[in-house]
């Protein structure tokens, strides 16, 4: 027998229980049934409020504060550990070139500055194609004028220029200043005549500084078409007699899971040499920045550039790779300047063979220094983890990740 619960009538003290027939569903044409009175289903389903937690005792509050403090220390220690692991996967001498955006190409600084203190509406556009000059190398300087607000080119001319020792290099016996020729006539290094860019080519070894070593300054004066005048200067670091010379020969070999590029060098003066080069992939996209920092004896030597195996496996450059723009210097332990420059090898100097990536090792770089740092950073992680566990009532500290 089917039973149904009758509605409790308002004002009655008991429920009227009776059998009832199911009512037909209302059609679109029938009037809507009146909603039953009483509490809504959502209100009836609302959970009862939770009892308030008992306040912590002073000892418990102190313990909780200590736990939160050690959790923050643990987070910081793990971040430091993981960051060091990530940043030292490759050796210092073989890095992704994206870590060195300022070294993708050899330094060719550009800058703007006001024409003069009283002419800030006119700016000078200044550029030099190199800072470090060795032996018979030539450096080019470029000077132009522009509106300081719109950056539109303005006509001007470099009407005088001289080269001399930089002020901090001047000794009792100073070298004579020599004139430097700027022009906008499409000659002597100027590429386009009349393009509002004045160019000078300066070769210190043949323009009065064959025996000089240090910083040279090229000062010049500029006059605009409106007779406004100002000046500026360029500095270069010059070595007249390079301590070593690149031979231009490069050999390659796969050693210990990495690609090694050995660049020939004839060393005249022994000492610590610091060298650098860039490696592009097959299509010319910059890929790796490679460096060398070792003591070399006099004689025929080689500079070893390492393209690390894991770096090749991770970045997957398209072979063959191309080595370019190799430069360096002999480090001086004291004195100014702090280096003796080696004449650079510009442009592409070597193209490698093609290799499958599985020819190279996927292992991370390791060294005594790296392992020592990881051990010390791991101690910080373990100490913080142990304190968190103890303050949380959990197990003792675990090993570092």
**Which of 204, 215, 216 has its CA nearest to residue 135?**
204
**Which of 128, 132, 74 has its CA nearest to residue 386?**
74
**pLDDT band with cut points at 50, 70 and 90 for residue 55:** confident
Quick one: average pLDDT of 24-43?
47
CA dihedral 99, 102, 106, 109 (to 10 degrees): 180
**pLDDT per residue over 58-68, tens digit each?**
888 999 999 99
**pLDDT band with cut points at 50, 70 and 90 for residue 171:** low
Q: Is the pLDDT of residue 157 over 50?
A: yes
The whole model's pTM is what? 0.78
**Which of 140, 143, 121 has its CA nearest to residue 221?**
143
Asked if residues 134 and 205 have their Cβ atoms less than 8 Å apart, the reply is no
Q: Report the pLDDT value the prediction gives residue 173, as an integer from 0 to 100.
A: 62
Quick one: average pLDDT of 280-297?
97
Quick one: average pLDDT of 260-289?
98
Q: Report the pLDDT value the prediction gives residue 294, as an integer from 0 to 100.
A: 98
**pLDDT per residue over 74-111, tens digit each?**
999 999 999 999 999 999 999 999 999 999 999 889 99
**pLDDT per residue over 172-204, tens digit each?**
567 789 999 999 998 877 888 888 899 999 999
**pLDDT band with cut points at 50, 70 and 90 for residue 365:** very high
Q: Report the pLDDT value the prediction gives residue 59, as an integer from 0 to 100.
A: 87
- Calculate the average pLDDT of the chain: 87
Q: How many CB atoms lie within 10 A of CB 259?
A: 26
**Which of 282, 262, 258 has its CA nearest to residue 359?**
258
Per-residue exposure over 192-201, b if at least 16 CB sit within 10 Å of its own CB, e if not: eeeebbbbbb
Q: Report the pLDDT value the prediction gives residue 208, as an integer from 0 to 100.
A: 92
Q: Is the pLDDT of residue 14 over 70?
A: no
Instruction: Specify the higher pLDDT residue, 43 or 53.
Output: 53
Quick one: average pLDDT of 147-161?
94
Q: Report the pLDDT value the prediction gives residue 8, as an integer from 0 to 100.
A: 39
Cα separation of 289 and 95, whole Å?
5
Q: Report the pLDDT value the prediction gives residue 27, as an integer from 0 to 100.
A: 42
Q: Is the pLDDT of residue 32 over 60?
A: no
**pLDDT band with cut points at 50, 70 and 90 for residue 297:** very high
Percentages (nearest 5) of helix, strand, coil residues in the chain: 20, 35, 45
Strand partners, 279: 288, 323
CA distances from 307 to 223, 235, 349, 353 (A): 50, 34, 16, 13
**pLDDT band with cut points at 50, 70 and 90 for residue 23:** very low
Q: Report the pLDDT value the prediction gives residue 192, as an integer from 0 to 100.
A: 87
Q: How many CB atoms lie within 10 A of CB 204?
A: 24
**Which of 59, 31, 336 has its CA nearest to residue 212?**
336
Minimum mean pLDDT among 29-43, 271-285, 344-358, 369-383: which range? 29-43
Q: Which residues contact 109 (CB under 8 A, 6 or more apart)?
A: 127, 128, 131
Q: Report the pLDDT value the prediction gives residue 220, as an integer from 0 to 100.
A: 97
Quick one: average pLDDT of 385-394?
88
């Amino acid at each position: 027998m089917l039973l149904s619960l009758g509605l409790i009538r308002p004002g009655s003290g008991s429920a009227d229980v009776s059998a009832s027939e199911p009512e037909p569903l209302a059609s679109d044409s029938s009037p809507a049934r009146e909603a039953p009175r009483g509490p809504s289903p959502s209100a009836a389903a609302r959970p009862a409020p939770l009892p308030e937690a008992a306040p912590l005792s002073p000892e418990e509050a102190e313990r909780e504060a200590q736990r939160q403090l050690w959790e923050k220390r643990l987070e910081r220690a793990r971040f430091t550990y993981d960051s060091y692991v990530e940043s030292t996967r490759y050796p210092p001498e073989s890095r992704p070139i994206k870590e060195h955006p300022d070294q993708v190409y050899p330094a060719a600084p550009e800058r703007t500055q006001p024409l003069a203190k009283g002419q800030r509406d006119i700016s000078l556009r200044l550029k030099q194609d190199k800072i470090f000059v060795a032996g018979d190398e030539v450096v080019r300087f470029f000077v132009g004028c522009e509106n300081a607000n719109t950056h539109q080119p303005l006509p001007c001319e470099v009407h005088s220029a001289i080269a001399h020792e930089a002020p901090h290099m001047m000794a009792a016996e100073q070298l004579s200043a020599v004139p430097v020729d700027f022009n906008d006539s499409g000659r002597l290094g100027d590429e386009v005549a009349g393009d509002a860019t004045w160019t000078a080519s300066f070769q210190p070894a043949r323009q009065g500084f064959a025996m000089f070593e240090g910083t040279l300054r090229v000062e010049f004066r500029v006059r605009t078409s409106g007779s406004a005048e100002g000046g500026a200067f360029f500095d270069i670091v010059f070595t007249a007699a390079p301590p070593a010379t690149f031979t231009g020969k490069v050999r390659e070999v796969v050693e210990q899971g990495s690609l090694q590029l050995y660049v020939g060098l004839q060393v005249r003066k022994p000492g610590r040499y610091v060298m650098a080069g860039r490696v592009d992939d097959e299509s010319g996209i910059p890929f790796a920045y490679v460096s060398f920092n070792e003591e070399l004896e006099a004689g025929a030597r080689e500079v070893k550039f390492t393209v690390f195996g894991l770096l090749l496996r991770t970045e997957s450059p398209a072979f063959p790779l191309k080595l370019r723009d190799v430069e360096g210097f002999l480090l001086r332990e004291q004195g100014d300047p702090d280096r003796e420059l080696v004449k650079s090898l510009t442009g592409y100097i070597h193209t490698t063979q093609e290799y499958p990536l599985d020819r190279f090792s996927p292992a991370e770089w390791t060294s005594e220094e790296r392992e020592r740092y990881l051990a010390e950073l791991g101690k910080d992680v373990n100490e913080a983890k142990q304190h968190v566990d103890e303050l949380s009532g959990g197990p003792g500290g675990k090993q570092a990740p």
